[in-house]
Chains A and B, each alone.
Chain A
Amino acid sequence: MKRGGWGDFFATSMNLWQYILKRLLSTIPTVFGALVIMFILTRILPGDPVLMILGPAHSSPENIAHMRKVIGMDQSLPVQFLRYLGRLVQGDLGYSWHTGNPVSKDLIMRFPATFELTTCALILMVFFGLPLGVIAGYYRNRMPDNIINGITVMGISMPSFWLGLLLIYVFFFRLDIAPPPMGRLSAEVSAPPVVTGLLLIDTLLNRNLSAFLSTVHQLVLPAVTLAFFNLAIIVRTLKADIIDTLKEDFIRTARAMGLSQKRVLFKHALRNALLPTVTMLGTIYGFLLGGAVFTEVVFAWPGVGMYAVESIQWLDYAGLQGFIIFYVFIFTIVNLLVDISYRVIDPRVQFD
């Protein structure tokens, strides 16, 4: 009987749902722990947000007392925390004073931008990282490996904001082939009505080809920046595992059976060496979804990373707390997906 693959995967789906439920329940203590730590940490940050809100000229004692009351800071810390939890259970993340919106609305509005950018970067990473990793492993310590090594190390050693600025300078400022780095859509095309928030999809739903192309155009540089920065991690992880896998008996068997080199490498070796790389991809993905902070700032990309930075600058407690909860949530989901994907890649993995 053929094992593995999607058929087998769905055969165990009852098991799978139980597993997902169990995993989701087990995140509750994690989220709670993160909440407590973050609540304390934001309060330890030096400074008083009320003074930041009011500014020196309006900081009369009456105004300060009033503003404290408005943002609920007149209560003791435990009371504030309980109040916050109470609202959180009802799905209320509080009110961000630096944007003037409910935090949940801010995050929902900004997440598609980050999601689109990060997913494109992830696709680029997989698209380039997997072949490069396999090739590097195969040609270990020879010219192709050295070249790949050089390129990826260069990527990871450049700070991403600097790489972003460099790409803007070369491709926009000097060569004029990249669009102005002003967010997700060129100023000349009008935005499609929001359906998913993902412009790549919304523009197509709206049958607006020029807006779609503009979206792709705007995505290229920031996605390349993100992907290039994280490429080294993927390539190196994969390379090490390819090297190990190539020493295994089943590879020798496959070769002995006369399979082509390419088939041996990309079908047999790659699939068996993939698990650690997928874990790594999942971690990077979760990490980036939480906001590719520097890249977003450099490209004026209105995502959650920029939101987090602004929240810290303005000592916006609600914004910061909301962001952290969101981050924990995203990480949990991505980890869960990664674990499930193990099962698809390697049928020997059991859910328990």
Chain B
Amino acid sequence: MDHKKGGLFMKKERMFGYGMILLLILFGMNSTSLAQSGEVLRVAFSADARTFDPGVVTRDYTGYAVIGGIYDFLVQYDLKPNKDGTFTTDTTKFMPMLAERWEHNPDMSEWTFYLRKNAKFHSGKPVNAQAIKYTFSRYIKIKSAASTVLVLAKVTEQGIEVVDDSTIKFKLQGPNPLLLDYFQMLSLGIQDPEAIEAHGGITPEKPNDWVAKNDVGSGPFKLVSLQPGVEIVLERNEDYWGPKPKTKRVIFKIIPEDSTREMLLQKGDIDILWLPPAKDYEVLRKHKNLKVVGDPSIRTTYIDMNRNVPPFDNILVRKALCYSFPYESVTKNILYGRAVQMTSPVPKGAPSHTSEYFPYKHDLKKATELLKEAGHPNGFSFTFQLGEGRIANNKEIAVAWQAELKKIGINMTIDVLPQAAFLEKLRAKNIPIFMIAWTSFVTDPFYQLLFLLGSKSFCNYADIKDAKIDGWIDKAVPEVNRDKRYAISKEIQKYAADQALWIYMFQPIFDTAMNKKVQGFCFNPDDQFHMKTVYVEK
């Protein structure tokens, strides 16, 4: 066969070659970048927002971040400036927002808010008392997540009274010393009644699809464009009543893949990477263009035991398990040091938290003694259940603990369930022992204690029914005097440690990786991204 030069490769093949060259030229074109002008802030999130309706949003970090920008709230937490130009949210102090000032009766069951007169919705209409009544009534009527918040806040539709355009009164169902903590929540953003009425209005028990994808707020940013699965663009509200944000344009980019996000950050194509995985902390921190800032969160991550199920009904067994957990090695090795030890059911960072009652450490000798005392000298077997996904590295943590338990004769089987299945089992309160994380949306100790330890709570997944704890909670929740509340909180913290109710694991540090040019980052104990103070330096 004669097929040497020129046989197979002739004119068309040359064309093919030209095509390849053209392709390479196109490929090699480098688009010019106007990104570093200081006007734009580009933030990478892993998933798109599901809704921008504050009343409806749940478990949607991207949605929360946008809502925090486009909505105003009655009040807000104070921001404490740090030396390096960053800020920390101070959850003990409230600042005016839409409400200029407020007052309450002595038992805190009746509150009056005086609104600022210069606040305007993005439509140009004034934010007045009627709008606030409309918003809260809407939340109650559509029975969404915000209605749960309002129920907890003891706000009812009938109890909201418009005194005049700029005065609104809340007659609560009972005393609520935490009302301001609720009113600063992202779930209670104030909405523009006319805009909503023009687009479907309120349908009882049904969220409004138009409100979910549009901006009916009065906040420091406006929603300007939206490409599902791609990006969300916000622009500064130039008519804002208050201090204007430092950034003119915020672009939320949806980048699902971790490695892609990190490469984009390192190359300067995005400015902020929110919640990078702990394993990449060192790499990102050492990169010459980047900094990583992090603050311990109030996200308590712990192992819960159902005391109705043997052997966890035995306090000595629970204590033995507490001594068997490899605390340090988990935070240091598995979480790369991006977590702090949890020492109480009330997280570090919340008022009244104390570490003084936490006696446990990794001590297998002590654990063995306790097991012997408990009547299990040869150990026992149990199944440990985990949910897929929500807690980073939870499988590795379980495996590390499994190895320790083995040394004291306890056989632990690890059972990893899909997140939805895990949640379903938790709800039914029929898992004997499990790993779980909890962030309170109000940094009050009783938010944590009532939800997780109160016998009537639907989140008390270990089905703890303890008359003592219930008695304390009933006494503290309506208590108006903060010092008295906190004293009771300390008693419960002591009791919880004595009873070895949980194995306290850790509170993760929430890291944000960013370009060195990013200034004014704001730390929040809740895991939300706040952008009002953040900007890219020129």
Contacts and interface: CB of A to CB of B under 8 A. Distances in A.
Nearest to A110: B229
Contacts of A176: 30
Interface string B245-265: 000000101111101100110
Given A100-B51, A187-B42, A53 B58 contact: yes
Contact of A300 (B33, B42, B253, B458): B253
Contacts of A55: 58-59, 145
A48 B28 CA distance: 49
B23 A220 contact: yes
A47 B263 contact: no
B307 interface: no
Interface in B24-51: 26-35, 42, 47-48, 50-51
Given A45-B418, A168-B259, 6 more contacts: A48-B424, A161-B257, A183-B230, A217-B29, A261-B1, A262-B8
Contacts of B423: 47-48, 51-52, 56, 59
Contact of A172 (B48, B267, B422): B267
Contact of A54 (B145, B254, B419): B145
A180 to B, nearest CB: 4
Contacts of A182: 253, 255, 264, 269-270
B31 A186 contact: yes
A261 B229 contact: no
A100 B212 contact: yes
9 contacts: A51-B424, A56-B438, A61-B458, A66-B205, A99-B50, A161-B257, A181-B264, A188-B34, A217-B29
A58 interface: yes
A97 B424 contact: no
Contacts of A70: 205-206
Interface string A29-63: 00000000000000001111101111111111101
Contact of A297 (B8, B10, B231, B256): B256
B227 A298 contact: no
A145 interface: no
B421 interface: yes
A56 B29 contact: no
Contact of B420 (A47, A60, A187): A47
A99 B209 CA distance: 10
A179 interface: yes
A169 B417 CA distance: 34
B7 interface: yes
B420 A177 contact: no
B266 interface: yes
A182 B44 CA distance: 10
A190 to B, nearest CB: 10
Interface of B: 1-3, 7-8, 10, 16, 23, 26-35, 42, 47-48, 50-51, 58-59, 143, 145, 148, 205-206, 209, 212-213, 227-231, 251, 253-257, 259-260, 263-264, 266-267, 269-270, 417-424, 426-427, 438, 441, 451, 458-459
A49 B424 CA distance: 9
Interface stretch (A5-13, A302-310, A326-334): A302-310
Interface string A76-113: 00000000000000000000011111000010011000
A46 B269 contact: no
A52 B255 contact: no
B3 A261 contact: yes
A261 B7 contact: yes
Given A97-B50, A172-B263, A60 B251 contact: no
A222 to B, nearest CB: 11
Given A46-B417, A180-B269, A60 B458 contact: yes
B23 to A, nearest CB: 7
Contacts of B33: 188
Contacts of B34: 188
Nearest to B264: A180
Nearest to A52: B420
- Most chain A CB within 10 A, of B8, B148, B418, is at B8
Contacts of A298: 257, 259-260
